[in-house]
Chain A
């Protein structure tokens, strides 16, 4: 399937899903689905740098929070609506990815991983001390009382926006995967030295994928302040975003755009169920245990099983 066709199909499917689910009467569905879709975007974005390129980003929460706090800052300063803050947050998070990538991607991969974690803490401290966006007390971003498109409540709109964003993230990830850029990234992942000697512009490609990955994570974050109408630093920078966006691609499979999608939908849904039925601490434990189990026992994730099964069918 060509990229353009895939984009059209993805958009059509997303619109259909967004429209069809408006019939669902249960309000809880929208708030649970919002979280799962958020994870789809984060996992897909993480995988562009992690799965395709082989560089681990421990700071997904930081990029997510950059998007969220861009929305808050622009809302407080100029009362800008969500439609404007989405591209703004995406751009700022992309710049952060570019900056972090430029500073540390020349070093060994592990330094990028540690630096991404470091960036999360520095930004967290910065936001805690930044009184304009509420500091440690948090900030209120009230949902507009009038909801466009005749939707009954604002969460319906947020949900629909997230469906479209998830489709966009998947289209971008797939386009990168199938392009020469994607092949360059795969070469970096498999053997960076060999790729460099073969003429692959490794640093440029790595910085490119760090930028795209960061921008998509930021995009997901821009809607978050409206989701609960309230945001505070420790929830926006929560480690669970970082862990989930690593665990989901690893569990789904990192080699293609489908892996993060499968991982995020499965793990995200399980977490929503566990959170309602048991407790949120237990759902974090489940993510951690699944992450360690998959990484030690099934390094290629669910898509790895599917691939192995297909190979057997062929024979």
Chain B
């Protein structure tokens, strides 16, 4: 197959733009799974929920989906706090998180999906925005704005979270929870409260990532599953709980998927993230950038 430079460069650009979006999708898992040790397999369900909320507000009032999601992120934050409360009381406190806690989140994922199907059906939904149909062209290179805008907001969000974690008292407390919960208790801080807030933060990022998703592509309830492998692949590849690692791993995955769909066909793309995840777990479980 003849590979033209234009095709190659466009695959790289699409991969990087996609990678930025993947960082937003996975940063929540890097917090909940990587730092708090809460295996929130239902994370993609909240992403899809975010997509549908953006869709409802957008189709009713025409507001920009990403602005809507950012404005409504406190709601997702509260939802996350409530969910963690239930998880803590029912599983973590009783030491049952490994089996029953996992099944619990799997159930939540499944319920969210089925409820969305019952309410909205399995039709693909889209949003309208001012930038959706515009593509910037630099010579042969394409920059579709429906990818560029989520990319920029997403990278800003991820960098913001990293600064927040390293430069505020609360952020450092979260990092401390990730390292040693007992020590935190001895310092007179309640790790459960910190975890609750941090989990709320992770669900809030899922809501915002959901708006990115529906800007980038049409959404139907069951596509959330495709992101389960992706978020965990990025989290593990980035080295459990490292935000910079997450960002870098997201770019790696974005490029891998973009190359696969450009050169082998889009039907192979879903296998890329899962395959990479399997390979990472099998051969380098501490991740590319792990300690």
Chain A positions within 8 Å of B, measured between CB atoms, are 50, 54-56, 58, 103-104, 107, 109-111, 113-115, 117-119, 121-122, 124-126, 128-129, 136, 239, 243, 246-247, 250, 281-282, 284-285, 287-289, 291-292, 295-296, 299
Q: What residues of A have a CB within 8 angstroms of the CB of B114 in the complex?
A: 281, 284-285, 288
Q: What residues of B have a CB within 8 angstroms of the CB of A292 in the complex?
A: 104, 107-108, 111
Our pick among B39, B41, B282 for the contact of A103 (Cβ within 8 Å) is B282
A117-B274 Cα distance, complex, nearest whole Å: 9
A281-B226 Cα distance, complex, nearest whole Å: 20
Our pick among B100, B106, B232, B281 for the contact of A104 (Cβ within 8 Å) is B281
**Pairwise interchain contact A296-B86, C-beta atoms closer than 8 A:** yes
User: What are 18 sample pairs from A and B whose C-beta atoms fall under 8 A apart?
Assistant: A50-B99, A56-B98, A103-B282, A109-B98, A109-B99, A115-B281, A118-B281, A119-B278, A136-B267, A243-B110, A246-B106, A247-B103, A285-B114, A288-B107, A288-B111, A291-B103, A291-B107, A295-B104
**Pairwise interchain contact B106-A243, C-beta atoms closer than 8 A:** yes
**Pairwise interchain contact B226-A121, C-beta atoms closer than 8 A:** yes
**Pairwise interchain contact A281-B117, C-beta atoms closer than 8 A:** yes
Q: What residues of B have a CB within 8 angstroms of the CB of A118 in the complex?
A: 229, 232-233, 274-275, 277-278, 281
A54-B102 Cα distance, complex, nearest whole Å: 11
Interface-central residue, A114, A119, A129, A299, by most chain B CB under 10 Å: A114
Our pick among B110, B232, B285 for the contact of A284 (Cβ within 8 Å) is B110
**Pairwise interchain contact A239-B110, C-beta atoms closer than 8 A:** yes
A39-B139 Cα distance, complex, nearest whole Å: 58
Which chain B residue lies CB-closest to A299? B100
B118 in contact (CB, < 8 A): yes
Chain B positions within 8 Å of A, measured between CB atoms, are 39, 41, 86, 90, 94, 96, 98-100, 102-104, 106-108, 110-111, 114-115, 117-118, 222, 225-226, 228-229, 232-233, 236, 267-268, 270-271, 274-275, 277-278, 281-282, 285
Q: Which 3 A-B pairs have the closest CB atoms?
A: A125-B271, A292-B107, A103-B282
A43-B185 Cα distance, complex, nearest whole Å: 41
- Report the minimum CB–CB distance from A306 to chain B (whole Å): 19
A121-B232 Cα distance, complex, nearest whole Å: 13
**Pairwise interchain contact B107-A128, C-beta atoms closer than 8 A:** no
A314-B99 Cα distance, complex, nearest whole Å: 31
Known: A110-B98, A113-B102, A122-B274. 19 other contacts (CB 8 A): A103-B278, A114-B39, A117-B41, A118-B274, A119-B278, A121-B270, A122-B278, A125-B267, A239-B110, A243-B106, A243-B110, A281-B117, A284-B110, A287-B110, A289-B107, A292-B104, A295-B103, A299-B94, A299-B100
- Report the minimum CB–CB distance from B154 to chain A (whole Å): 23
- Report the minimum CB–CB distance from B192 to chain A (whole Å): 18
A58-B105 Cα distance, complex, nearest whole Å: 12
**Pairwise interchain contact B102-A56, C-beta atoms closer than 8 A:** yes
**Pairwise interchain contact A121-B274, C-beta atoms closer than 8 A:** yes
A237-B103 Cα distance, complex, nearest whole Å: 19
Interface-central residue, A107, A109, A121, A129, by most chain B CB under 10 Å: A121
- Report the minimum CB–CB distance from B94 to chain A (whole Å): 8
Our pick among B104, B115, B229 for the contact of A121 (Cβ within 8 Å) is B229
Interface-central residue, A104, A124, A243, A288, by most chain B CB under 10 Å: A288
Q: Given A285-B114, A289-B111, are A56 and B225 neighbors across the interface (CB < 8 Å)?
A: no
- Report the minimum CB–CB distance from B178 to chain A (whole Å): 15
Our pick among A107, A109, A124, A126 for the contact of B281 (Cβ within 8 Å) is A107
Q: Given A119-B278, A296-B86, are A291 and B110 neighbors across the interface (CB < 8 Å)?
A: yes
Q: What residues of A have a CB within 8 angstroms of the CB of B117 in the complex?
A: 281
**Pairwise interchain contact B281-A114, C-beta atoms closer than 8 A:** yes
**Pairwise interchain contact B271-A107, C-beta atoms closer than 8 A:** no
Q: Given A122-B271, A291-B103, are A115 and B39 neighbors across the interface (CB < 8 Å)?
A: no
Q: What residues of B have a CB within 8 angstroms of the CB of A247 in the complex?
A: 103, 107
- Report the minimum CB–CB distance from A286 to chain B (whole Å): 9
Which chain A residue lies CB-closest to B121? A281
- Report the minimum CB–CB distance from A60 to chain B (whole Å): 12
Q: What residues of A have a CB within 8 angstroms of the CB of B110 in the complex?
A: 239, 243, 284, 287-288, 291
Our pick among A56, A114, A287 for the contact of B232 (Cβ within 8 Å) is A114
**Pairwise interchain contact A295-B100, C-beta atoms closer than 8 A:** yes
- Report the minimum CB–CB distance from B83 to chain A (whole Å): 11
**Pairwise interchain contact B98-A54, C-beta atoms closer than 8 A:** yes
Q: What residues of B have a CB within 8 angstroms of the CB of A136 in the complex?
A: 267
Q: What residues of B have a CB within 8 angstroms of the CB of A58 in the complex?
A: 41, 106
A250-B104 Cα distance, complex, nearest whole Å: 11
A124-B274 Cα distance, complex, nearest whole Å: 11
Q: What residues of A have a CB within 8 angstroms of the CB of B281 in the complex?
A: 103-104, 107, 111, 114-115, 118
Q: What residues of A have a CB within 8 angstroms of the CB of B41 in the complex?
A: 58, 113-114, 117
Q: What residues of A have a CB within 8 angstroms of the CB of B106 in the complex?
A: 58, 243, 246, 291
Q: What residues of A have a CB within 8 angstroms of the CB of B232 in the complex?
A: 114, 118
Q: What residues of A have a CB within 8 angstroms of the CB of B94 in the complex?
A: 299
A50-B275 Cα distance, complex, nearest whole Å: 24
Q: Given A125-B270, A239-B225, are A115 and B107 neighbors across the interface (CB < 8 Å)?
A: no
- Report the minimum CB–CB distance from A257 to chain B (whole Å): 18
Which chain A residue lies CB-closest to B118? A281
